[in-house]
Structure 1
């Protein structure tokens, strides 16, 4: 009886520990080098398997948006060269027709579809390559400017009639604004997005239908629910992140972009599956069950970008981002470097469609590179933040209430360029500008029993420290 009781207790403890292991939140990657190795594994596989350069249509171009981010975080010159060769192969153009009277923007893959966003996404990479050049080559963005400036000169505002188009073209507008300073890019960006919102944005769910024909209740999922296609919303979410990256802080519509991005983030977080992925129909997992990596990559990228840039709360959104990253790097990424579980080209969640470890595609790899590159940035930021925390602990601040002053002591080897002291309301009560090492006494208007914040600009970056006056 005693042995049986011990066995039961042991079994129960084992089951409990297994359950805890399965529900434990994934940890941050150990280092940026670990993330870089994952990026290189996936990108090396893709570029080795695809040495020839295809047309400048959306699927290839979407890969290159991810490849450029991989270049930016790893510095691997082969990645930049790969995109340069693709751009040159396509003459730094999208669709190639020069007959403006025949330019179209409905769906089409021939060269007269110059105004169709699926042929404009290539401009993102061309602009990035142009910006990376020390000596600028105007030919790299000449076609992008020609096409977009012609488009903006027309009276139409319905160019973005499908969700994918928001990723394809919104970032082109903000990138060209930065190159040219032409505010019309931002004005038309808002005008075109407003049209898109009017036909496919669901105010209640804070998500986008793929296009107008999928709006509920005209279209329903297998279980009569709203059918939001994961990759479609992934395109939008990632596109908004890219827009906010480049949008001026004084843009009159900036808060609306932020509101859309944050609203989507909450809906995305709430629809994630426990295993870390998102199903193809976001709110009806039974419609097309099982993992899918392209939508998951875009969502993971957007969540990480939002956290990295202060738009999303770390405590609330990091667990979802880490679960997505874990699925992408431990399940979707195969041992040979292939990114699997990519739903084939399409526009909706299809019941019964096979999506498995062998399912891969250029745009899916691009999305994977976006997500992993943003994780690389997060790990780097974390390293810097921890280093700053170590420095802050070695800086001493001694308040003297009687003399209304603060004595700041720096550790050896650290030079300070300026110091700000703020009270708990954020009001500045002391300021010193000038280099010093060792110790500096700062006069303060008045010290009361309260916490104060010190902001020190040093030879090792900006460091903040809290000082409590008791």
Structure 2
């Protein structure tokens, strides 16, 4: 009888400790899992710090400020934190719902320029994305009057070379679909494809599916230091995110819808294979040694685009889930600093810039905007699970 009791007692202990061990493992797995709450916490930590340290009156409507507000508005739409909406509304009002402000059409230009006559330059038109989205939340004609004036003029010109650098695709492609949504004028979709086709013809590399930043960087005229094709990470991030944001507002009945999808999925396939083991992408995608180390703006744009593709059924979840989960691990554990700074963002430039310092203190408004876009899609991804 005593032997039976002892055996029973030992067996019970084994079950008990086994259960505790399993419970501990489950708790560890749960604590490491990316949850919606953790993503919102990271989003809020970064965004609240950014807004606390950057006054609206210091922000014009140029591309880098606008990119932040594109992300911030997405953060509002996901979290419903009214503070985020108010911040972007105040920015739009501060800029009088305009980009470049010239009223003399004879002086309007689209080459590079930061002054008010560069009305047709895409870096001054990106803000129209935000204004139209704010209009859709609360329609008032004053919010979109300038967008209508400028874009209506542009699409009725014979010029098709407006987007001569790939960043411009992010700045204006989503404006065109939004203008179509506002006016139901199919000319915007026709011109969207014409302008995009010009850029693609100039700088698209069919072999890789990636884009050179502009005509100066086409191989073999331009090469990395070791003789490879030099595809700039953030530049291709602009394109990848641009196509996602364009498809998001493009009718699937559009005759060119599949063309955009094909470019998007080809890019994703190439980018998937260029991710570093630590989860980030380097500044020069095909030559990590050209500018080694992590870079957050390209990484967050790629993360956003891939998450958007998964969430909208254009990218296979089994193939891309490990990629975005690894990149999010880099973002959450390395890029975001303890004080909420988003680090390792390459400063403003147009190429990988060998020798440039990019470290945990390197941050920017456009980098935070890209992070906010990625965060909102990560929340959707978790919800869809």
TM-score, normalization by structure 2: 0.91
Paired residue for 1:113, among 109, 112, 118?
A: 118
List per-residue Cα deviations over 1:301-324 (Å, max 9, x = no partner).
000000000000000111111111
Cα deviation, 1:149-202, whole Å, max 9, x if unaligned, reads 101111110000001000000000001111111101100000000000010100
How far, CA to CA, are the matches of 1:57 and 1:315 in structure 2? Answer: 39
| 2:178 counterpart of 1:169 | no
Contact 2:73–2:85 (CA under 8 A) maintained in structure 1: yes
CA deviation string 1:427-457 (max 9, x = no partner): xxxxxxxxxxxxxxxxxxxxxxxxxxxxxxx
- Of residues 210, 213, 222, the one that matches 1:210 is 213
CA distance in 2, matches of 1:79, 1:338: 17
Query: Is 2:230 the counterpart of 1:191?
Result: no
Aligned length: 356
Structure 2 CA distance for aligned equivalents of residues 223 and 70 of structure 1: 41
Please give the secondary structure, in 2, of the residue aligned with 1:306: helix
Contact 1:209–1:215 (CA under 8 A) maintained in structure 2: yes
- 1:340-377 deviations in whole A, cap 9, x for unaligned? 00000000001111000000000000001011111011
Indicate the SS of the match to 1:286.
Answer: helix
Task: Write the distance in 2 (CA, Å) between the matches of 1:347 and 1:72.
Answer: 31
Q: Which has the higher helix share?
A: 2
**Cα deviation code 1:287-314 (max 9, x no counterpart):** 0000000000000000000000000000
TM-score w.r.t. the length of structure 1 is: 0.75
Greater share of residues in strand:
1
Q: CA deviation at 1:31?
A: 2.6
Q: Which among 355, 358, 366 is matched to residue 358 of structure 2?
A: 355
The answer to whether 1:335 aligns with 2:338 is yes
Secondary structure of the residue that 2:288 maps to in structure 1? coil
Q: Contact between 1:341 and 1:359, CA under 8 Å: does it hold in 2?
A: yes
The 5-angstrom pairing of residues 69-468 of structure 1 reads: 69-133=74-138, 136-382=139-385
1:32 maps to 2:36: yes
CA distance in 2, matches of 1:337, 1:127: 30
For each residue in 1:189-240, what CA deviation from the matched residue of structure 2 results, as whole angstroms up to 9, or x when unmatched? Answer: 0000000001010011100000011000010011100000000000000000
* Distance in 2 (alpha carbons) for counterparts of 1:376 and 1:333: 17
Query: What's the CA shift string for 1:391-414, capped at 9, x where partnerless?
Result: xxxxxxxxxxxxxxxxxxxxxxxx
Residue 56 of structure 2 contacts residue 90 of structure 2 at CA under 8 Å; is this kept in 1?
no
**1:27–1:126 Cα change, 3 Å:** farther
State the Cα deviation string for residues 229-268 of structure 1 (Å, max 9, x = none): 0000000000000011111010001110000000000011
- Give the distance between the partners of 2:32 and 2:201, measured in 1 at CA: 39
Q: Judge conservation of contact 1:28–1:322 (CA < 8 Å) in 2.
A: no
CA apart distance, 1:51: 2.5
User: 2:300 touches 2:374 (CA, 8 Å); kept in 1?
Assistant: yes
Larger RCO: Structure 1 or Structure 2 (Cα < 8 Å, ≥ 6 residues apart)? Answer: 2
In structure 2, which of residues 42, 47, 62 is the aligned counterpart of residue 57 of structure 1?
62
Report the Cα distance in structure 2 between the residues aligned to 1:155 and 1:51, rounded to whole angstroms: 40
Distance change in 2, residues 1:98/1:307 (3 Å): same
Quick one: distance in 1 between partners of 2:340 and 2:37? 17
Ranges in structure 2 where 5+ consecutive residues have no aligned partner: 1-28
- Whole-angstrom distance in 2 between the partners of 1:70 and 1:280: 26
Q: Which residue of 2 aligns with 1:432?
A: none
Query: Take 2:224 and 2:192, find their aligned partners in 1: how far apart are those partners?
Result: 31
Query: What residue number does 2:71 align with?
Result: 66
Native 8 Å contact 1:174 1:246 kept in 2: yes
- Native 8 Å contact 1:29 1:35 kept in 2: no
Q: Distance in 1 between matches of 2:33 and 2:132?
A: 31
* Residue 32 (structure 1) shift: 1.5
Q: Distance in 1 between matches of 2:175 and 2:340?
A: 30
Deviation of 1:69 (Å): 0.7
Paired with 2:100 and 2:364, the residues of 1 have a C-alpha distance of 21
